[in-house]
Every structure is written in structure tokens, then in C-alpha cells.
Structure 1
Amino acid sequence: MIGELLQWLHTVFVERFDGWVVLGFVAQFMFMMRFVVQWIASERVGRSIVPVAFWFFSIGGGILLLIYSIRQQDPVFIAGQSLGLTIYLRNLWLIFREKRRDPAI
């Protein structure tokens, strides 16, 4: 049982390791950083907020994860990242439109 697990881990994390896996890890790291940024910003003001950087990390991580999922031919991730990118871009559009109307924001 343990030998099978070790073989599986070796196959997944060593034998299959290539540039695409590196891209996937970078993408996942960027995507995770959006939550770190949001958490730090919220801690600083003492309430839950979503800073603009959250949406930029969402877009960066989402684009890289979409590229990775297309390469891996994973329809679940392709659909999920495509919808997510639409939402992230729309949120940035709304934020910048609001700032154009009221530069004091």
C-alpha cells in the first residue's frame, strides 16, 4: 500500500514534471496570492475589503490557469477559468468606471 502510494507520488510529481507543470504551479501561486492580498488588506483596516490588487492577481492567475487547462485539455478548468476571467475583468471595469466618475475614491 505505501509502496503504491510512493510510486504514484513519484509518477505525478517527478516523472510528469515539465515546463507546463511549472506554469501550472506559477498560475496557482498567483491565484492564491489574491487571497493573501485580500487578507492583509482586510487586517489592516479591521474589516473585510477587496482591494484592486485582488482582481489583478485573479486575472493573472486566471489567464495562466486557462492556458494550462487548455494545454491539459481539461474542460472543467477551461470552463471555470473562462467564466472567472469574465467576472474579474467586469469587476475591474466597474472599479475603474467608478474612479473616473469620482477621482476621490
Structure 2
Amino acid sequence: MLISYGQVLGDYLYDVFVAKFDFWLAFGLVAQLLFTARFVVQWISSERAGQSVVPMAFWFFSIAGGLMTLVYGIAKREPVIIIGQAAATVIYVRNIMLIIKNRGRASKTLSN
């Protein structure tokens, strides 16, 4: 009996995306979409500026997508996702704190 690679791939994709579809898969997909949106935002901002730019929205999408992916990892008991997203979320929050801190300094410098 000869099974085509197309059939094997089709069966795999059906099993992963249809047969096992539940709330957590939908949640994980939304998390990944938010996480991916940050790169789209960064790319558009950079194209408009004509240079590499990392807008504040990049960090907010990072936090939203990262936290949702962390929750997904916890629910699915995936240690690689848990460790990676927990560490990354700390970095995202710290970047926003630094941006806000530097904006405050810049506005004080301009007012003097």
C-alpha cells in the first residue's frame, strides 16, 4: 500500500488544527498573532522613518503576546514556553520602563 506524502501531511494538519481544536488552541493562536503583530508594527514604523525604529506599540504587543503565550504554556504544561516567555516578559516590561524614564528626562531637559 502506497501512502502519498500529501496524504500524510494532510492527515497531520487535520489532526493538529482541526481534530484537536479547543479553547487553548484558539487562545494560543491569538497570542501568536499578537506576538507577530509587533514585527508588523516595527516594520511599518521603520519603513515610514527610513531607518530601524522600535515604537512603543512594539513593546505593548510584545507584552500582550508574551503574557498570553505564557498563560498558554502554563495551561499546556510546556516548560520551554513557560521559561522563555516568563524571562522575555520581564525584558519587555523593563524596556517600557526605560522608555518612559527617558521620555521624562527629555521633557525636563526641554523645559529648562
User: TM-score band, normalised by the shorter chain?
Assistant: over 0.9
Q: Give the secondary structure class of the aligned counterpart of 1:49.
A: coil
What's the CA shift for 1:7? 1.9
Q: Using the alignment, how far apart are the partners of 2:8 and 2:102 within structure 1?
A: 56
Larger radius of gyration: 2
Alignment match, 1:70: 74
- Equivalent positions of 1:36-55 (< 5 A) are 36-55=40-59
What's the CA shift for 1:33? 0.5
Q: Give the secondary structure class of the aligned counterpart of 1:102.
A: helix
Number of aligned pairs?
A: 104
The runs of at least 4 aligned residues of structure 1 exceeding 4 Å deviation read none
Q: Which residue type is aligned with residue 31 of structure 1? A: F
Q: Which residue type is aligned with residue 83 of structure 1? A: A
**CA offsets per residue over residues 30-64 of structure 1, 9 Å max, x none?**
00000000000000110001001000000000000
* TM norm structure 2: 0.88
Pick which of 10-19 and 95-104 moved more. 95-104
Alignment match, 1:90: 94
Q: Which residue type is aligned with residue 76 of structure 1? A: V
Q: Give unpaired runs (5+ residues) of structure 1.
A: none
What's the CA shift for 1:10? 1.4
C-alpha RMSD over aligned residues: 1.1
Q: Using the alignment, how far apart are the partners of 2:29 and 2:79 within structure 1?
A: 19
* TM norm structure 1: 0.93
- Equivalent positions of 1:21-40 (< 5 A) are 21-40=25-44
